[in-house]
């Protein structure tokens, strides 16, 4: 309608512009319409060839006409300029030109098929056509948008997802149709719970957790069922896979007496988690039929009579939890001289004491005793008078005539009661046999014969008693200058004192004197003037001495 | 004249003050025993007649107290401090310069029959 109105407006405009045109050619065009054929037509008019454009898509087809239009004036509605390609769909405004395509997706499922040709289209190809060649597998059914892929399917009668038998090609969509499977190898085509053939290496038929080695395959589901495994269970191998109470093979020793200790040889017993009854892990039972004894004890000493005294005897004894009495590893109280009698155990040596004086005689004998020698036997021997109860001990003696405890003369052997008779002593060598105050020789180094307590050096020996008798000394006392005069005690260096001032002067004399110097003599000899009692020092001598000492 | 070695004779000649000296000698003997086989000896000169000093020995000559004849004592001083040997020398000179006025007491350590100087003391009479 709009284009019709525009067309009519254009005609009116042309009529107004061409007013007065008299159609000089007489062709009938001049009535109300300008005539491009008139010789005097205006310069802004032209002839234009038009073609029908019923669908108004800008591309015409079919009927054509010639129209006198102003320059630049659009063609009237429903018409377009001729000379271009014709509209391949004159009544379809969305299509006007033939366009080539290389693919086709007839069912619009997104999976095209290769197909080339031309189709009348507009600016773009209509839906379902592809300008380029499609890639990938072509749609196996381009008329059904529910199917697009061609697969090989296997019959899956048990519908477990795994097929069997020969495959056949099927065009399907996203999902495999029921009763078919795209995976074959169903080891049990009629059993929905089994489809895969799985390897197993161990079998636990009795379900006790212990398995036995058995390599094979099993048609099952996605995993091995209980009783089948690829790894051994605990306590494997099962020594009895047909009994869930027994799976562990014990290496044990028969324990017939039930004391917990068995005997060799070892036996293999199939049992459960507990040690089978009548067997032991230990083989040390030394008395297989005696439940009170199962262990061997070593010993080094025997005390058969139980008196704690032993005999050295090493060995082994079968017993229970403790070393049996009478078998020891130590010597106990000591060696047993008789291990069969608890009353005697100690070996003692003795001599027969026939006279009962406590001293035996003859050779020594050994007696097995209870700790004491039997009657009539004593430890000590050597009775010098075996038949005399008053004498038994032989003593060597010396005659001590002066009674000072030291005898003299040849030694004498006497059979006594243990004590020497009066007048006899054990020690001899009296240097003065008839002087009770002297009996031994003592050394001296000095003498003081005048008794002034000043000694002279004189060494020698003298027969004496407990100490050296005067005048002998074992230590010096001064140096007696005259041991015959007790008034003279020692040597002194003296100087004659001429002036009586108790200071003398040289020459000196060495005199044998008593307690003090004699008159006219002095122990000092440094009187500077021995003729003058007032003068005792000399200043010049003192200066000279000071000079020397300085 | 006597050549003095370590001996009890010398001490025997020293009559006066002998018992006091025994205690000193006992102490010195104890020190000597602790040091080895050495022992101490004491000499008291009543007169000093000669004194010699070499680099190794000091020689004293005179009459020991209680003695009748002059004696001679050699004392080793090798390695001793000069102050000590000089002190002994001065004491000897004093005893020589004042006859009878002093007693010169010399304590030595005796080792292998040689005397080694220990103490010099000058005692006024």
CA nearest to B109, candidates B27, B20, B49: B27
**B38 vs A211, which has greater pLDDT?**
A211
* Chain B CB within 8 Å of residue A545 CB: yes
What are A521's strand-pairing partners?
A496
Which of B:52-81 have CB within 8 Å of A?
A: 63, 66-69
Per-residue pLDDT, A175: 93
The two most distant CA atoms of chain A are separated, in Å, by 223
Distance CA A83, CA A50 (A): 8
CB B47 within 8 A of CB B65: no
Distance CA A276, CA A280 (A): 8
> For residue range A240-253, what is the model confidence (pLDDT) as tens digits?
999 999 999 999 99
Distance CA A78, CA A6 (A): 11
Residue B31 has pLDDT above 60, yes or no: no
CB A213 within 8 A of CB A237: yes
Residue A411 has pLDDT above 60, yes or no: yes
Residues in Cβ contact with A73 at an 8 Å cutoff, skipping those fewer than 6 apart: A10
* Mean pLDDT within B97-123: 94
Residue A464 has pLDDT above 50, yes or no: yes
Cis-peptide into A265, omega within 30 deg: yes
Residue A4 has pLDDT above 50, yes or no: no
Per-residue pLDDT, B10: 39
Residue B103 half-sphere exposure, CB side, CA atoms within 13 Å?
19
Residue A540 binned pLDDT confidence (cut-offs 50, 70, 90): confident
Per-residue pLDDT, A367: 95
CA nearest to A526, candidates B44, B125, B64: B125
Among candidates A457, A477, A526 on the partner chain, residue whose Cβ is nearest the Cβ of B101: A526
> For residue range A161-191, what is the model confidence (pLDDT) as tens digits?
999 999 999 999 999 999 999 999 999 999 9
Average pLDDT, chain A: 90
Per-residue pLDDT, A537: 86
Distance CA A389, CA A361 (A): 12
> For residue range A45-67, what is the model confidence (pLDDT) as tens digits?
888 899 999 999 999 999 999 98
Whole-angstrom CA distances from A226 to A188, A193, A206, A217 are 19, 15, 10, 14
**ipTM of the prediction:** 0.76
Residues in Cβ contact with A266 at an 8 Å cutoff, skipping those fewer than 6 apart: A251, A252, A253, A283
B13/A479 touch (CB, cutoff 8 Å), yes or no: yes
Residue B1 binned pLDDT confidence (cut-offs 50, 70, 90): low
Residue A73 binned pLDDT confidence (cut-offs 50, 70, 90): confident
Among candidates B12, B68, B101 on the partner chain, residue whose Cβ is nearest the Cβ of A524: B101
Per-residue pLDDT, B15: 35
Among candidates A477, A491, A545 on the partner chain, residue whose Cβ is nearest the Cβ of B97: A545
Q: Which residues of A touch B18 (CB under 8 A)?
A: 476-478
Residue B66 has pLDDT above 80, yes or no: yes
Per-residue pLDDT, A541: 81
What is the DSSP code string of B52-121? EE-SSEEEEEEEBTT-SSEEEEEEE-TT--HHHHHHHHHHHHHHHHSTTTEEEEEEEEEETTEEEEEEEE
pTM: 0.43
**B27 vs A53, which has greater pLDDT?**
A53
CA nearest to B67, candidates A379, A49, A54, A512: A512
Residue A28 has pLDDT above 80, yes or no: no
Distance CA A523, CA A536 (A): 14
Lowest mean pLDDT, pick from A62-76, A334-348, B50-64, B87-101: A62-76
> For residue range A346-373, what is the model confidence (pLDDT) as tens digits?
999 999 999 999 999 999 999 999 999 9
Number of neighbours of residue A518 by Cβ within 10 angstroms: 10
CB A147 within 8 A of CB A172: yes
- Tokens 């000897």 correspond to B92
B100/A479 touch (CB, cutoff 8 Å), yes or no: no
Whole-angstrom CA distances from A357 to A75, A363, A377, A384 are 183, 17, 11, 11
> For residue range A473-522, what is the model confidence (pLDDT) as tens digits?
999 998 999 999 999 999 999 999 999 999 999 899 999 999 999 999 99
CA nearest to A492, candidates A524, A452, A451, A448: A524
Residue B28 has pLDDT above 70, yes or no: no
What are A113's strand-pairing partners?
A104
**A497 vs A543, which has greater pLDDT?**
A497
**A85 vs B38, which has greater pLDDT?**
A85
Per-residue pLDDT, A267: 94
């Amino acid at each position: 309608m709009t284009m019709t109105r525009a067309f009519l407006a254009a005609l009116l405009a042309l009529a107004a512009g061409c007013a007065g045109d008299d159609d000089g050619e007489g062709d009938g065009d001049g009535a109300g319409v300008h005539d491009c054929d008139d010789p005097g037509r205006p310069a802004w008019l032209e002839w234009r060839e038009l073609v029908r454009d019923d669908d108004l898509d800008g591309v015409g087809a079919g009927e054509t006409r010639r129209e006198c239009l102003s320059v630049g004036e659009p063609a009237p509605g429903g018409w377009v300029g001729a000379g271009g390609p014709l509209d391949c769909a004159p009544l379809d405004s969305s299509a006007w030109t033939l366009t080539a395509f290389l693919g086709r997706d007839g069912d619009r499922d997104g999976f095209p098929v290769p197909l080339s040709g031309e189709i009348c289209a507009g600016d773009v190809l209509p839906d379902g056509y592809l300008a380029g060649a499609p890639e990938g597998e072509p749609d196996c059914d381009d008329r059904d948008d529910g199917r697009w892929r061609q697969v090989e399917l296997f019959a899956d009668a048990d519908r477990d997802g795994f097929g069997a038998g020969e495959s056949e090609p099927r065009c399907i969509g996203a999902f495999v149709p029921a009763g078919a499977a795209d995976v074959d190898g169903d080891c049990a085509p009629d059993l929905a719970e089994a489809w895969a053939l799985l390897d197993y290496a161990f079998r636990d038929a009795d379900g006790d957790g212990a398995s036995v080695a058995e390599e094979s395959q099993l048609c099952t589901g996605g995993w091995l069922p209980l009783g089948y495994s690829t790894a051994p269970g605990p306590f494997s191998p099962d020594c009895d896979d047909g009994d869930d109470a027994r799976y562990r093979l014990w290496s044990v020793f028969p324990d017939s007496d039930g004391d917990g200790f068995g005997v060799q040889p070892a036996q293999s017993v199939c049992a459960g988690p507990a040690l089978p009854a009548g067997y032991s892990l230990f083989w040390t039972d030394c008395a297989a039929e005696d439940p009170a004894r199962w262990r061997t004890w070593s010993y080094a000493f025997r005390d058969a009579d139980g008196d704690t005294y032993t005999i050295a005897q090493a060995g082994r004894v079968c017993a229970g939890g403790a070393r049996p009495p009478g078998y020891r590893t130590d010597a106990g109280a000591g060696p047993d001289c008789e291990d069969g009698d608890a009353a005697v155990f100690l070996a003692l040596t003795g001599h027969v004491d026939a006279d009962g004086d406590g001293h035996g005689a003859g050779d020594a004998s050994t007696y097995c005793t209870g700790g004491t020698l039997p009657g009539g036997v004593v430890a000590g021997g050597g009775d010098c008078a075996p038949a005399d109860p008053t004498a038994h001990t032989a003593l060597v003696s010396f005659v001590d005539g002066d009674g000072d405890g030291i005898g003299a003369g040849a030694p004498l052997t006497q059979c006594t009661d243990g004590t020497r008779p009066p007048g006899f002593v054990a020690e001899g060598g009296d240097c003065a046999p008839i002087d009770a105050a002297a009996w031994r020789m003592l050394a001296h180094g000095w003498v003081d014969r005048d008794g002034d307590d000043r000694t002279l050096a004189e060494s020698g020996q003298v027969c004496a008693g407990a100490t050296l008798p005067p005048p002998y000394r074992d230590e010096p006392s001064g140096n007696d200058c005259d041991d015959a005069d007790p008034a003279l005690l020692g040597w002194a260096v003296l100087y004659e004192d001429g002036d009586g001032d108790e200071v003398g002067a040289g020459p000196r004399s060495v005199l044998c004197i008593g307690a003090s110097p004699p008159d006219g003599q002095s122990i000092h000899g440094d009187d500077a003037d021995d003729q003058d009692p007032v003068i005792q020092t000399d200043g010049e001598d003192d200066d000279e001495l000071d000079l020397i000492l300085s | 004249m006597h050549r003095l070695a370590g001996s009890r004779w010398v001490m025997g000649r020293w009559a006066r003050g002998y018992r006091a000296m025994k205690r000193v000698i006992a102490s010195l003997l104890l020190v000597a025993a602790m040091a080895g086989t050495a022992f101490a000896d004491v000499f008291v000169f009543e007169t000093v007649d000669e004194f010699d000093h070499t680099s190794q020995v000091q020689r004293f000559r005179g009459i020991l107290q209680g003695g009748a004849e002059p004696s001679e004592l050699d004392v080793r001083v090798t390695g001793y401090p000069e102050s000590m040997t000089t002190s002994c020398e001065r004491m000897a000179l004093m005893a020589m310069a004042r006859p009878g006025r002093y007693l010169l007491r010399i304590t030595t350590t005796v080792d292998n029959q040689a005397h080694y100087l220990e103490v010099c003391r000058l005692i006024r009479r």
